[in-house]
Amino acid sequence: MDTSPQRAEGEADPDGQEIVASLDALSAVPRLQGSLGRVIGWVDTLFVLLANLALVAIAATVLLQIAGRLFLPFTLAWTEELSRYLFIYMVALASGVAIRRHRHVNVELYHHLLGLRARAAYQALICLLIGGFALMVLPGAWQFAQNGAWQTSPTLRVPMLYIFFSTVLLFALVLFYSAIGLVEGLAAVLRAPAGADRETASWK
Q: How far apart are CA 96 and CA 18, in angstroms?
A: 23
Cβ neighbourhood burial of 90 (10 Å; 0-12, 13-18, 19+)? buried
Alpha helices in the chain (DSSP H): 17-23, 34-71, 77-100, 116-147, 160-191
Average pLDDT over residues 153-167: 92
Instruction: Tell me which DSSP letter residue 93 carries.
Output: H
In this prediction, residue 34 has a pLDDT band, given cuts at 50, 70 and 90, of confident
The identity of residue 94, as a single letter, is A
Q: How far apart are CA 161 and CA 147, in angstroms?
A: 7
pLDDT tens profile 114-127? 788 888 898 899 99
Residue 112: pLDDT over 70:
yes
Coil vs helix vs strand at 30: coil
The identity of residue 46, as a single letter, is L
Among 82, 53, 50, 83, smallest CA distance to 173 is for 50
**Bridge partners (DSSP) listed for residue 159:** 152
pLDDT tens profile 53-97? 999 999 999 999 888 888 888 778 899 999 999 999 999 999 999
**So where are the chain's domains?**
29-191
Among 8, 74, 66, 25, smallest CA distance to 197 is for 25
Residue 171: pLDDT over 70:
yes
Q: How far apart are CA 185 and CA 189, in angstroms?
A: 6
Radius of gyration of the chain (CA): 21
Backbone angles phi, psi at 159, to 5 degrees: -55, 130
The identity of residue 155, as a single letter, is T
Q: How far apart are CA 129 and CA 2, in angstroms?
A: 33
